[in-house]
Structure 1
Amino acid sequence: METTGLSSSEYFIFVFLLQMITLSSEQFTVSAQRGTIVVPVSEVAELSCQLSPPQSAEHMEVRWFQDRYTQPVHLYKGGKDLYGETISKYVERIDFLKEAIGEGKVTVRILNVNVDDNGQYHCLFKDGDFYDEAIIELKVTATSLQTQIFVHPPNLKGITVECYSIGWFPEPQMEWRNTKEEIIPPTSISHSQDSAKLFNMKMTLLLTGDFRRDITCCLQNPVTGQRERTSIILSGRCCSKNSPVLMGLLIIMSSASVICGLITYLHLKKRVPVSDPNSPLYIMWLEDISVILCMLMVVIIVPICFIYFRLRAYRNEPI
């Protein structure tokens, strides 16, 4: 009697092929719509990822997390959003959009973006033991519109010009430029960060000698390329070339006043007879008079020089 059906070898081949077909039908890849997303501070960021080939992900686990956190930013599992297992600071700022989850597309919307949200986000789909993920880069930016230039009063070194700008992220490029767009080397550049981790920038420039120039403070966001420029016109004399000479004259005059007082004291002392019983009193009187004379000369010379320099400073102050 002839039997019909599959032999044992054929049966095992059939089962193997069936398992391969089933396994291949369960596999998928995850891709991000855009690899890098740039969002200004306080705006809304939307991060989306998609299954390929398109298929329903309603029964899958969908996990969003940052590379520096083990706890997820958002977790969808068993058809529900599990807010209790996510990072607390995102609970009130995350919307999980799953209208297209039947086609394998999901989106997280991050509200009121801040500097701490900057970085990589992983979108992970898991079906049973199989999973795949895509990485999306979120770049948070801030470009300031508050840039000011301050001109400090002139001194013996010159005149200091300071550019100050607040509210940047990431740290901007900062430089001085002239009317020909040539870079002027700054005297110093420094920065600090406020409570929101935004950069506050300060750049100074020391000008010396006679000048007449326009200078521009330029800042540029390295991510967006946005620029902020503020200019000022400077005209006048930063400091007098004769200032060191005048200072030397001031020192010489002060020294001369002390020497004159000393000479006066010694000259008058010789004229006081030693035999005079009041000689000690005369000598004390001469010492006092000499000291008072020296002090008066210094007190007169110093204010005159101070007034002179202040008048020059106000006269040469830039416009």
Structure 2
Amino acid sequence: MECTGLCFYGHCIVMFLLHITPSSEKFTVTGLEGPVLAPLGGNLELSCQLLPPQHAEHMEIRWFRDHYTQPVHLYRDGKDIYGETISKYVERTELLKDAIREGRMTLRIFNVTVDDDGPYHCVFKDSNFYEEHITEVKVTAVSLQVQIHVHPPNTKGLIVECNSGGWFPQPLMEWRDSRGEVIPAASKSHSQDEGKLFNIKMILLIRESSSQKVICCLQNPLTGQEHRTSVAISDAFFSWNKKWKMILVMILCVMVFSIMVSSRQIHLRNQSRWCTWTAPWVIGILIMILSVLIVIGVLVWLHMKQRVPVSDAHFELDTLWLEDRSVILCALMVSATMLTSYIYFKLKARLQKENHLSEVSSSN
């Protein structure tokens, strides 16, 4: 009986010692399945769990990004080690140890930045045995400031520009009409500021006059958060194009009128027949047609020539330059046509007068 009692008490003591002695059996590490979304400027918590659950106070627990030797946070010998952590994470991390006896540890990162985006390795190490779990973190930022700017109309059409900044990652962007249908954008561009946040610009070129509402839609591809801004486009924006066309028509009318008046005066002077190909009105019309063809040809060549793209910051200057050149060219062609017609008709009248005088003198 005494032996049996001693054996029982001995067995209990051995089981107790085994229970309090760190276990060296193998384990696995599990954690959050990514990606884990982390709002910019907020706090992020990443947890790891030992399986089977067991006491982890005696283990080394290391969180790192790319290199094992450069931890984000390090726990060793029952305390936090800050001397080996990456400098940008100093005083920005905290290890929650409330459930360390169950083998669960949580890393808290304060004031999340864009640089915190990416994978995080959680490593539990017991003696020479270790296991890890990798969690993917996606930082998200959504801007509430979306602005639409309508540029003055020009010969190319009406330029509508949408600007926004402070997005991460790069947002999805598109133009839509009032029915929700996508309108092809003339150009899309983006850049990143010092904080690696995306600034975007999207341009829409409206060539035809139509009363409609255009909507600039921006969406975060991770969270699905969307922000919209709209502007109504009325026919009044295209009044300049109508004035431009009216100016061209008026110039052509002036050219026709000036040539017809000059032809009529020469005809009355010479009393010549209007059916001949050498009649002044025929020559005037030919000069007019030639001038119009030259103007149209030059304008088409200017417009077909490789221009500055819509996305370029100098697009408006290039368009204004083209418009000014077109107006100057039309004015010069009108002046040249009138001057050519005047000189031609003057020479024509003088030659006819000399021929008439020579005929009179020869008849006498």
TM-score normalised by the chain length of structure 1: 0.71
Q: Which residue of 1 aligns with 2:163?
A: 164
Match for residue 333 of structure 2 among 237, 247, 255: 255
Which residue of structure 1 aligns with residue 121 of structure 2? 122
**Could you tell me which amino acid in structure 2 is paired with residue 192 of structure 1?**
S
Identical positions, percent = 55
Deviation at 1:245? 7.1
Query: Match of 1:194, as an amino acid?
Result: D
Deviations 1:52-84 (A, max 9, x none): 111111111100011367411111111121111
Q: 1:24 to 1:234 in 2, by over 3 A?
A: same
User: Which stretches of structure 1, 4 residues or more, deviate above 6 A after TM superposition?
Assistant: 261-267
Which residue in the other structure is 1:302 paired with?
Answer: none
Q: Which has the higher helix share?
A: 2
Secondary structure of residue in 2 paired with 1:254? helix
Higher strand proportion, which one?
Answer: 1
Number of corresponding residues: 248
Report the Cα offset of residue 91 of structure 1. 0.7
**Unpaired segments ≥5 residues, structure 2:** 1-20, 252-326, 347-364
2:116 maps to 1:38? no
Which SS does the other structure have where 1:230 is aligned? strand
Residue 154 of structure 2 contacts residue 241 of structure 2 at CA under 8 Å; is this kept in 1?
no
Measured in 2, the distance between the counterparts of 1:23 and 1:105 equals: 16
Which residue matches 1:153? 152
The CA distance in 2 between the partners of 1:199 and 1:234, in whole Å, is: 28
State the one-letter code of the partner of 2:146. T
Equivalent position amino acid for 2:333 in 1: S
TM-score scaled by structure 2?
0.63
1:54 equivalent in alignment to 2:53: yes
Name the counterpart of 1:293. none
Residue number in structure 1 paired with 2:247: 246
Look up the equivalent residue of 2:158 and give its one-letter code.
I
User: 2:115 is paired with a residue of what secondary structure?
Assistant: helix
How far 1:247 sits from its partner (Å)?
A: 4.8
Distance 2:200 2:330 in 1: 44
- Superposition map of 1:142-221 within 5 A: 142-221=141-220
- Preserved CA contact (<8 Å) 1:209 1:241: no
Q: Secondary structure at the match of 1:48?
A: strand
Residue 241 (structure 1) shift: 5.6
Matches within 5 A, 1:45-124: 45-67=44-66, 70-124=69-123
Contact preservation (8 Å) 1:165, 1:201: yes
Task: Flag the structure with larger Rg.
Answer: 2
**RMSD (Å) for aligned C-alpha atoms:** 2.7
Q: Give the deviation of 1:180 after TM superposition.
A: 1.3
Distance 1:26 1:42 in 2: 41
Change (3 A) 1:258 1:28: same
CA contact (8 A) 1:46 1:108 kept: yes
Cα distance between partner residues in 2 of 1:197 and 1:152: 29
Give the distance between the partners of 2:111 and 2:39, measured in 1 at CA: 9
The structure with higher relative contact order (CA 8 Å, sep 6+) is 1
Matched residues in 2 for 1:214 and 1:244: separation? 25
Q: Tell me if the contact between 2:142 and 2:225 (Cα under 8 Å) persists in the aligned partners.
A: yes
